[in-house]
Chains A and B, each alone.
Chain A
Amino acid sequence: MKFFLRTVVLLGLAAAVVGFFCYRMGSDKALHAAATKRDTMEWLRTDFHLSEAQFAAVKKLHAEYAPSCEEHCRHIQSARKALAAAGATDATALASAGQKLQELRSSCELAMTRHVRQVAAVMSPEDGRRYLEMVFPKIANFDHTVAPDLHFDQAR
């Protein structure tokens, strides 16, 4: 019985060591560090194996995109305010404001899609495809009527 228990304890320790080793070997420290810091640029650099030149090009694309994102954001906020101001009484104004907001959102989605395609084009074909596979469904599934809850694909 003494030897049986001793063997069970030894095997348990060996299993714990092997499990921990496999966990450490299988985990991606750079990705985890980027996630902890919420550093999306670092994520793009490490997860999509960007060279220095590719990384610089992606940063440039993002810098170029940022002002148009800001502008779109302002337009959407104005359109939302106009929609709220139209109220429920003036049906024509309400429909017009709603239509304007919808057009702005479509235009935003188009601009963002164009931007992510440009970013993907900078990456290697394989990484670019993987990048688009990750971001496109979340862009397409975004529900405009609710605040983001960090799970876009589940937002309803």
Chain B
Amino acid sequence: MKTSRDFLSEVLRHWRVTPPADPNFRGAVWQRIDACVRETWPGYLRSHAVAWALVAVSTVGAAAYAGNAAARARIHADREALVTTYLVELDPRVQALLKP
């Protein structure tokens, strides 16, 4: 007695696919290969303009902010050091502790 599995195997064994030949297939493949080889950097950027523009704006913006924040931090640190030095020179209470 044949089971449905045997029947399926029998069908698959005799199954042949005969697709219609595409006369442009080879040409189309070479065309795509040529397009990849000939693609330029500006062309790549143009084709991804929106994404790269967003990345560029956010990256450069973040760099500008970070640079400015670092400058502000240095100004703050310099000023703190100077105020402290200034008051050490000015404060007899500190001088009394520092002098032998």
Contacts and interface: CB of A to CB of B under 8 A. Distances in A.
Contacts of B87: 135, 138-139, 142, 152
A63 B68 CA distance: 38
Given A3-B44, A11-B59, A40 B89 contact: yes
A25 B63 CA distance: 13
B75 A76 contact: no
A34 to B, nearest CB: 6
Contact of B93 (A11, A21, A142): A142
A115 interface: yes
B98 A148 contact: yes
B41 interface: yes
Interface in B49-100: 52, 55-56, 59-60, 62-68, 70-72, 74-75, 77-79, 81-99
Given A3-B44, A134-B79, A23 B92 contact: no
Contacts of A108: 91-93
Contacts of B98: 147-148
Q: What does DSSP make chain A's interface, helix, strand, loop or mixed? A: helix
Q: Which of A4, A6, A69, A73 has the most CB of B within 10 A?
A: A73
A148 B97 contact: yes
Interface string A26-59: 1110011011001010011001000000000000
A96 B95 CA distance: 23
A15 B60 contact: yes
16 contacts: A3-B44, A11-B59, A14-B63, A15-B63, A19-B64, A22-B66, A23-B67, A35-B78, A38-B85, A43-B86, A70-B92, A72-B96, A76-B92, A77-B99, A112-B90, A142-B93
What 10 pairs between A and B have smallest CB-CB spacing? A26-B71, A22-B67, A72-B92, A15-B63, A19-B63, A35-B78, A76-B96, A19-B67, A23-B67, A3-B44
Interface of B: 39, 41, 44-45, 52, 55-56, 59-60, 62-68, 70-72, 74-75, 77-79, 81-99
Given A12-B59, A34-B78, 8 more contacts: A11-B60, A14-B59, A19-B66, A19-B70, A26-B75, A76-B96, A77-B96, A105-B93
